[in-house]
Amino acid sequence: MADSPYGRRPIHTIKLGRQTSEDDKLRYVDVKPKLEFGGTIGAGLLTVALPLFLVAYVALLHRTDPTLTAIANIRSVDLKSLFTFEAFLIVFAWFICSLLSYLIPYGRNVPGRRLPDGSVLHYNCNGLIFLLIALVGFEVAYIFNVQIIDYVIANIVQLAVASIVLSFVLSVLLYIRSLSVPKSALSDAGYSGNAIYGFFMGRELNPRSYGIDLKFACELRPGLVGWLLIDLCACAVCFKQTGSVSPSLFFVTAAQGLYIADALWFEEAILSTTDITCEGFGFMLAFGDLAWVPFLYCSQAIFLMNAESHTPQAIPHWFLVALIALFVVGYVIFRSANLQKNNFRSQPNSASSTGMKSIATGVADRRLLCDGWWGWVRHPNYLGDIIMAFSWSLACGFRYTAPYFYPFYLCVLLVLRAERDERSSLRKYGSAWTTYCQEVPYRIIPGIW
Ligand code: NDP
């Protein structure tokens, strides 16, 4: 066993070689990875607090007067009415459809990152076809006036609660399954020896069943496509009630639609992201994919739909043009930075990759890109994401703070994520990472942080 920046940890998570059961044993016994999110207490609190917060927030947004003080009145809600079997069936059917879409024999079969045991998994990158099928389904429902559109808006809290229940059920099943897989199939959290932390972070890195990669199939499809469908339902209901869709709501839906279609168009780019390469599949990702993303990220559209019916938020045309420009700036940074890094990682020997300034790490053929967007700041893709998020919330005007939760939350999330990713990169690459930080001193905002 070699020493590594992890202390006594064997470096085989980054060394490409065959694992022996002896290695597994050593790794299991020796590795005590640093616990993220405050360890057991933090993971336990987040598992309880995030779902409660989500339900309260969705209920708040659904009010005609979404002031924060209105949260106090949410106590008067009949708790029994929050869970309905009907909503659960809809959410469950949606989840199963998004998983089954992975099996549609269409799209590119793309190899993922080499795993610690030397194997390489292949992924069916056909999420775009799922989006197209969902959009056709929405169009049909709209044309034939199927009640599901009104149902989604009228029962959005119940659907959010059902999604939370489903994410708990899924996480429990994933946890049980992870107890019988080989140690080499576990993520770092799987080695913590801590049940609460393992449940929250996810123990198994790449759970696969019936030919479906569960983590990959859940990463974008149910959440992102569900988010867009809720936005579209908000537009449809708004049009029905008022005879028009405000420019703000149109902008938010179109911009978020582009963001979502883009993610599915470039679906293979997620193969080099932290969620796919490092995280296990547990409550954090399951809850994020099934409940948090669709029901929280649609907040601006839900707010604008309600505002249009009760307290219209007219914004000047010049301001809307400025928001479109802000969104385009964010989108260009986000997309081109993600593509630059993904191409650099997936084709390290191509002419475009070798022509870019980079730092050798000594780990396999991985170099650190310090050119283009990645020579400007260390997380340019996060910056683009944050800029887009603000453009959506600014379209909601300045009367209420509720629709601003998403961009501020995203700032906190991505700042924590940047710190976490940098700790992990320092462990992986040691002095090469330090050199990169000297070369590119700012993390997200040039000149500031
Ligand atoms: P990244 O896609 O930036 O992936 C981080 C990994 O990239 C690092 O661990 C490292 O992995 C590699 N890397 C980092 N710097 C370099 C470099 N200079 N050269 C080469 N490789 C490098 O981050 P995330 O996975 O966190 O995010 C992916 C996208 O998803 C982002 O655009 C983010 O904005 C978005 N996102 C959105 C969220 C939302 O809720 N809206 C939530 C989370 C993410 P290695 O060296 O091992 O290859």
- pLDDT digit string, tens, across residues 289-325: 999 999 999 999 999 998 877 666 678 899 999 999 9
pLDDT in tens, 157-212: 999 999 999 999 999 999 999 999 998 899 888 888 899 999 999 999 999 999 99
pLDDT score recorded for residue 304: 94
Answer yes or no: is the C-beta of 358 below 6 A from any ligand 1 atom: no
Nearest 5°: phi and psi at 446? Answer: -55, 130
Answer yes or no: is the C-beta of 274 below 6 A from any ligand 1 atom: yes
Q: How confident is the model at residue 73 (pLDDT cuts 50, 70, 90)?
A: low
Mean pLDDT of 138-167: 96
Residue 33 has pLDDT above 70, yes or no: no
pLDDT score recorded for residue 36: 83
| Helix, strand, coil in percent for the chain, rounding step 5 | 65, 5, 25
Domain boundaries, the chain: 39-314, 316-449
Tell how far the Cα of 190 is from the centroid of ligand 1, in angstroms.
22
Q: How confident is the model at residue 5 (pLDDT cuts 50, 70, 90)?
A: very low
- Report, in angstroms and rounded to the nearest whole number, the Rg of the chain calculated over CA atoms: 22
pTM, entire model: 0.88
Tell how far the Cα of 274 is from the centroid of ligand 1, in angstroms.
6
Tell how far the Cα of 36 is from the centroid of ligand 1, in angstroms.
17
Answer yes or no: is the C-beta of 203 below 6 A from any ligand 1 atom: no
In angstroms, the CA 170 to CA 225 distance is: 19
pLDDT score recorded for residue 364: 76
Answer yes or no: is the C-beta of 192 below 6 A from any ligand 1 atom: no
In angstroms, the CA 125 to CA 129 distance is: 9
**Over the chain, what is the mean pLDDT?**
88
Q: Which residues of 165-199 are buried (b: 16+ CB within 10 A; e: fewer)?
A: bbbbebbeebbeebeeeebbbbbbbbbbebebbbb
Atom of ligand 1 nearest to the CA of 386: 34
Answer yes or no: is the C-beta of 417 below 6 A from any ligand 1 atom: yes
Answer yes or no: is the C-beta of 443 below 6 A from any ligand 1 atom: no
Evaluate whether 338 touches 265 at the Cβ level (below 8 Å): no
Identify the DSSP state of 221. Answer: I
Atom of ligand 1 nearest to the CA of 385: 34
Answer yes or no: is the C-beta of 366 below 6 A from any ligand 1 atom: yes
Tell how far the Cα of 35 is from the centroid of ligand 1, in angstroms.
20
Answer yes or no: is the C-beta of 334 below 6 A from any ligand 1 atom: yes
Of the candidates 261, 303, 335, the one whose C-alpha atom is nearest the C-alpha of residue 404 is 303
Q: What single letter denotes the amino acid at residue 32?
A: K
Tell how far the Cα of 171 is from the centroid of ligand 1, in angstroms.
24
Nearest 5°: phi and psi at 214? Answer: -65, -45
Tell how far the Cα of 273 is from the centroid of ligand 1, in angstroms.
5
Atom of ligand 1 nearest to the CA of 417: 26
Q: In a 10 Å sphere around its CB, with 0-12 CB exposed, 13-18 middle and 19+ buried, how is residue 317 labelled?
A: exposed
Tell how far the Cα of 324 is from the centroid of ligand 1, in angstroms.
25
Tell how far the Cα of 14 is from the centroid of ligand 1, in angstroms.
17
Atom of ligand 1 nearest to the CA of 374: 18
Atom of ligand 1 nearest to the CA of 366: 46
In angstroms, the CA 248 to CA 415 distance is: 28
Q: How confident is the model at residue 359 (pLDDT cuts 50, 70, 90)?
A: very high
Evaluate whether 256 touches 301 at the Cβ level (below 8 Å): yes
Tell how far the Cα of 154 is from the centroid of ligand 1, in angstroms.
36
pLDDT score recorded for residue 363: 80
Nearest 5°: phi and psi at 212? Answer: -105, 130
Within 13 A of 332's CA, how many CA atoms are on the CB side? 7
Helical residues (DSSP H) of 107-210, grouped into ranges: 127-143, 148-154, 156-178, 195-201
Q: In a 10 Å sphere around its CB, with 0-12 CB exposed, 13-18 middle and 19+ buried, how is residue 245 labelled?
A: middle
